[in-house]
Structure 1
Amino acid sequence: MSGENDLIKLYSGRILALAAAIPHTDRLASPQASVKRRAPLCGSTVTVDVVLDGGRIAAFAQDVKACALGQAAASVVGAHAIGRSRDEIEAARDALKAMLKQDGPTPPAPFEDLEVLRPARDYKNRHASILLALEATLEAMDQALQADCA
């Protein structure tokens, strides 16, 4: 019963509020790149559309089909993705991964609200879903940057 209570505590009011308010959920009409990522353990998916300008995200959209934890992460990512460089998105992803796997520091600004997901570090089966939005965004940025170079 204790494990069940811990899981209930994991889904805090803040996580649920973020999950209910995911920004940029309409797909882009003409993205430079569109990437769908799936978490194999739970089946969560995130599809990200991007348009870059000068190596920074100028337009961003996401279609999120994930648990509340994945939705909360996507909410934070969506709130801050526009205007970010690939290096900033990668730093956020790497910091989030370290926070979950090694109890590392909170991701850097403007992604510090991902701290709300720290209690999920004990639920390894949820990590992939939590990382989906950042990983899909990075992959979409890579595809858009490659298309610009071609």
Structure 2
Amino acid sequence: MDHGRVQCFHRTPHCGVSRSTYYNWLQPPKKKEKHDSKPVGRPIPGYCFTKQGKKVSDEQIKEWIMEAIAGDGYSYGYMKPTHHLRQEYGLVINKKRVYRLCKELDILKPQRERKSIYPGTETLQPPISYGKWISNMDISQGGISSLV
């Protein structure tokens, strides 16, 4: 059964469409699967090592971070706790891991707003005069024969 489809080699040269484009057009659109349920990237191991090779869990590291900032009333970044963990406890720990742990503990400072590299450049643009645009559009719509 044909279902209203015409054989490709008879119609596509007359329409100016390649055969692959025609058959691609006939296929129903593919549905994109949502991968929200699966985590992206490798799984989090949940531990790191000291310089002596001893395993330390992420929960212990979180406790150490909270002890380090317990006396202060303000939030920290992630670089100071990273330095503290390396110096005081001899951890071999990456700053990205400390950032993730601090984010889970909700102790990070609010991120600063980035300032423009070139402040004031938006005022250097010449003002737009819409009259010129309209007159150019009118001339182009009228054609060359009406101008002569």
TM-score (normalizing by structure 1) = 0.23
Which has the higher relative contact order, 1 or 2, with Cα contacts under 8 A spaced 6 or more apart? 1
Higher strand share: 1
- Larger Rg, first or second structure (1 or 2): 2
Higher helix share: 1
